[in-house]
Amino acid sequence: MLSSKVQLSGVNTFKLGTLTAAEMKELFRRLRNGDQKARDALVEGNLRLVLSILQRFKNRGESLDDLFQVGCIGLLKAIDNFQLEQDVNFSTYAVPMIIGEIKRYLRDNNSIHISRSIKALSHQVQQTREELLKKNFREPNINEIAGAMELSAEEVVFAYNAAQEPISLYDPVFHDSTDPVYVMDLISDQADGAENWLDSLALQEALQKLQPREKEILEARFFEGKTQVEIARQIGISQAQVSRIEKAALALIRKYYQQGFSGEGDGDETENRP
């Protein structure tokens, strides 16, 4: 976690202030009338927003000073383009623009070579996405972006994916408070057929220990790639309940592996789970 007292680009983050909704509206009204001091106040009052977004990029091996400055560019663009008539919170509007600016910086500084034409097309895809987001106040889907650009959906997906930053083997794909799962944990040696067969059998046996709802949630999360919110909506429970059930199911599978399939504790342990 970034320290609240760290200096970023000469800014003491410990002293950063925040603005109330009323103060934000008043500053935007003043900015509309040409008051540049109001713009400066809006920037200063939203630097904590940039700082919070940096948390998502802190393990990329990039200078936090550089990312902070790039995030501030996104903040300035959001301030200059925000309209009070949109009837949305400024943070809701600004966050995607700040993240987009940082991602573009990371993409452009990527050590993996991407052709100039693909980079240009990817940039156009991002611009079109931001324009549709600003116009419709929601995230556009692939078909909407493709239609606006007169491209096929496949061309849009290719351009978008080609410019994405590579994933580190040490990036977490799931974690609770005790035992994170990293990308490297999901990669195995495909040449070892016997080990793969045993792992597959072990997983099947572990899954048999789960209750139907636990199995349904894990399959949706890790085999179908759905979020906890999507699963909650699908089966009619809260996201918090999905999270609890998921953690309990993962804990059971982990315990089953650790016991070496000895059968210890197999009795009635499922009765007390969600």
Domain boundaries, given as residue ranges, for the chain: 7-162, 172-272
Question: 47: which 2 tokens?
Answer: 């630097």
**What pLDDT, in 10s, does the model give residues 68-88?**
889 999 999 999 888 888 778
pLDDT at residue 216 above 50?
yes
- As a whole number, mean pLDDT of residues 152-156 equals 84
- As a whole number, mean pLDDT of residues 246-260 equals 76
pLDDT at residue 183 above 80?
no
User: Residue 173 belongs to what H/E stretch?
Assistant: strand 172-174
Q: Is 266 helix (H, G, I), strand (E, B) or coil?
A: coil
pLDDT at residue 6 above 50?
no
Q: For residue 12, what pLDDT is reported?
A: 55
Q: What is the pTM of this model?
A: 0.41
At position 207, the amino acid (one-letter code) is L
**What pLDDT, in 10s, does the model give residues 115-145?**
677 778 888 888 898 899 888 888 888 889 9
pLDDT band of residue 15 (cuts 50, 70, 90) is low
Question: 4: which 2 tokens?
Answer: 């609240």
**Contact 207/216 with Cβ under 8 angstroms?**
no
Q: For residue 30, what pLDDT is reported?
A: 92
What's the gap between Cα 109 and its chain centre? 20
Contacts of 103 by beta carbon, 8 Å cutoff, 6+ apart: 165
- As a whole number, mean pLDDT of residues 244-272 equals 65
pLDDT band of residue 220 (cuts 50, 70, 90) is confident
Please provide residue 13's backbone torsions phi and psi, each rounded to the nearest 5 degrees. Answer: -65, -20
**Contact 228/238 with Cβ under 8 angstroms?**
no
Q: How far apart are CA 106 and CA 60, in angstroms?
A: 9
Q: For residue 271, what pLDDT is reported?
A: 46
Q: For residue 75, what pLDDT is reported?
A: 92
Q: How many CB atoms lie within 10 A of CB 265?
A: 11
**What pLDDT, in 10s, does the model give residues 49-58?**
898 888 888 7
Q: Is 116 helix (H, G, I), strand (E, B) or coil?
A: helix
Q: How far apart are CA 166 and CA 134, in angstroms?
A: 28
- As a whole number, mean pLDDT of residues 160-165 equals 67
Q: For residue 1, what pLDDT is reported?
A: 38
- What is the topology classification, in CATH, of domain 7-162? Four Helix Bundle (Hemerythrin (Met), subunit A) (1.20.120)
What's the mean pLDDT when you consider all of the chain?
A: 75
Q: For residue 177, what pLDDT is reported?
A: 46
pLDDT band of residue 193 (cuts 50, 70, 90) is very low
pLDDT at residue 211 above 70?
yes
pLDDT band of residue 210 (cuts 50, 70, 90) is confident
Q: How far apart are CA 17 and CA 119, in angstroms?
A: 37
pLDDT at residue 100 above 80?
yes
Please give the residue that has the higher pLDDT: either 225 or 113.
225
At position 132, the amino acid (one-letter code) is L
pLDDT at residue 25 above 70?
yes
Q: How many CB atoms lie within 10 A of CB 40?
A: 13
DSSP codes, 183-244? GGGG---TT-HHHHHHHHHHHHHHHHTS-HHHHHHHHHHHTS---HHHHHHHHTS-HHHHHH
pLDDT band of residue 179 (cuts 50, 70, 90) is low
- What is the topology classification, in CATH, of domain 172-272? Arc Repressor Mutant, subunit A (1.10.10)
- As a whole number, mean pLDDT of residues 159-183 equals 59
Q: For residue 115, what pLDDT is reported?
A: 64
Q: How many CB atoms lie within 10 A of CB 201?
A: 11
